[in-house]
């Protein structure tokens, strides 16, 4: 817990538009900050490069789950049709892979989709009470705000100097985040 003023958790600063936010991101990265983010109402192309972000690894997770799901259902179909409950139906072979294809295909897609959604949620993390939600300024991100947030946990963070730095690179309004109680 903290004293009456509250512990400083970070800073939120607003920029004018897309190009300003991109330019600011470039400068913040070059300054050496590590625990920060750029918030915008929509995805901004070129932001990954400006922030020095690597490509998401989601695709690998999805690929693995798709193979697992598709392979699993093919094995289940084969095992039930050949070994657990063998029946000759319309003259087809017991392991009639052609007839197993539609279900294998559907379940592969289903596994991939589930892995995409849940993998995505796992990667973004579910922070319903993120400190940023306390900020009045921050809520603009989902309307028309282009914001930068820098966490207090960043080694370069200093309440006064960071704010000065953000002003020097063109931010408009800014707000220090403090914990309540």
Partner 1 sequence: MSSITTNNKLNVLAEPPLIAGNQTFASVTNIISNIVEGKTEFRWYIAFGISSAMATGLLALVGYLIWEGTGVWGITNPVGWGWAIVNFVFWVGIGHAGTLISAILFLLRQKWRTSINRFAEAMTLFAVVCALMFPTIHVGRIWLLYWFAPLPNQMGMWPNFRSPLMWDFFAVGTYFAVSIMFWFLGLIPDLATIRDRAVTRVRKVIYGILALGWRGGNRQWKHYEVAYLILAGISTPLVLSVHSIVSSDFATSILPGWHTTIFPPYFVAGAIFSGFAMVMTLAIIARIVYPVKNFITINHLEKMAKIILLTGMMVGYAYAVEFFIAWYSGNTYEKFAFFRRAFGPYAWAYWIMVSCNVIVPQLFWFRKIRRNILMLFLLSIFVNIGMWFERFVIIITTLSADFLPSSWDYYHPTWVDVGTLIGSFGLFLTLFLLFLRFFPMIAMSEVKAVLPQADPHYNHKLTGNSAVASTGGDA
| CA angle, 16 then 21 then 23, to 5° | 120
Strands 174-178 and 36-39, sheet pairing: unpaired
Nearer to partner 1 among residue 41 and residue 159 (C-beta): 41
DSSP 140-151: GGGTT-EEEEEE
Nearer to partner 1 among residue 62 and residue 162 (C-beta): 62
Query: Strand (E) positions, the chain?
Result: 8-15, 36-39, 146-151, 174-178
Residues forming the site for partner 1 (CB under 8 A): 17-19, 22, 25, 37-48, 51, 53, 55-56, 58-59, 62, 66, 76-77, 80-81, 84-85, 87, 89-90, 92, 96, 99-100, 102-103, 105-107, 109-110, 112-114, 116-117, 119-121, 123-128, 130, 132-133, 138-144, 149
Nearer to partner 1 among residue 133 and residue 161 (C-beta): 133
């Amino acid at each position: 817990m903290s004293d009456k003023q509250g512990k400083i958790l970070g800073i939120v600063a607003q920029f004018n538009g897309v190009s300003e936010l991109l330019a600011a991101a470039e400068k913040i990265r070059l300054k050496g900050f590590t625990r920060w983010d750029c918030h915008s109402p929509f995805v901004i192309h070129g932001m990954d490069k400006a922030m020095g972000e690597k490509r998401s690894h989601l695709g690998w997770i999805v690929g693995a789950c798709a193979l697992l799901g598709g392979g699993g259902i093919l094995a289940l179909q084969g095992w039930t049709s050949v070994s657990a409950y063998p029946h000759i139906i319309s003259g087809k072979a017991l392991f009639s892979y052609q007839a197993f294809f539609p279900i294998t295909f559907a379940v592969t897609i289903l596994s991939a989709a589930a892995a995409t959604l849940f993998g995505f949620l796992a990667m973004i993390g579910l922070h319903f009470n993120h400190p940023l939600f306390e900020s009045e300024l921050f809520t603009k991100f989902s309307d028309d705000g282009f914001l930068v947030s820098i966490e207090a946990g960043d080694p370069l963070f200093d309440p006064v100097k960071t704010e000065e730095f953000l002003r020097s690179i063109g931010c408009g309004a800014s707000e220090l985040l403090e914990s309540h109680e």
